[in-house]
Amino acid sequence: MPKKRKNRGRAKRKGKGREGYTYCSNCGARIPRDKAIRVERWVSLVDRQLEKELKKQGAVIFRKKVVKEYCVSCAVHYGIVRIGGYAERLAREET
């Protein structure tokens, strides 16, 4: 049977078995952990404008790591991943 995606849209290998679930940080949908789209961002607790000025004065600003896991539909909606035909995806991977 032909496959649409080599990895079937998730990171589950042959014989890997079941894995736990997580919840989408946006809509709360229950999704397999390996299917979730994980986004890590360093977020400053200080306002951006203020941070710039403080940095100019040589202050060290604490930055927090925020990890979010999205379901596929939310990731597509927020532009984290994009959909498209095989050729389109291939072209994106090359560049």
Please state the closest distance from residue 84 (CB atom) to Zn ion, in A.
Answer: 20
Using CB under 5 A as the binding criterion, the count of chain residues that bind Zn ion stands at 6
Choose one: 6-14, 17-25, 53-61, 78-86; the region binding Zn ion (CB under 5 A): 17-25
Binding flag, residue 31, Zn ion (CB under 5 A): no
Please state the closest distance from residue 93 (CB atom) to Zn ion, in A.
Answer: 24
Choose one: 12-20, 23-31, 52-60, 87-95; the region binding Zn ion (CB under 5 A): 23-31
Counting Cα atoms < 13 Å in the Cβ hemisphere of 11 gives: 10
CB atoms within 10 A of CB 71: 22
**Nearest one of 2, 12, 14 to 33, comparing CA atoms:** 12
User: Please, where are the H alpha helices in 6-77?
Assistant: 48-56, 72-77
Q: What gap in Å lies between CA 92 and CA 71, rounded to an integer? A: 21
Please give the residue ranges that form the binding site for Zn ion (CB under 5 A): 24, 26-27, 29, 71, 74
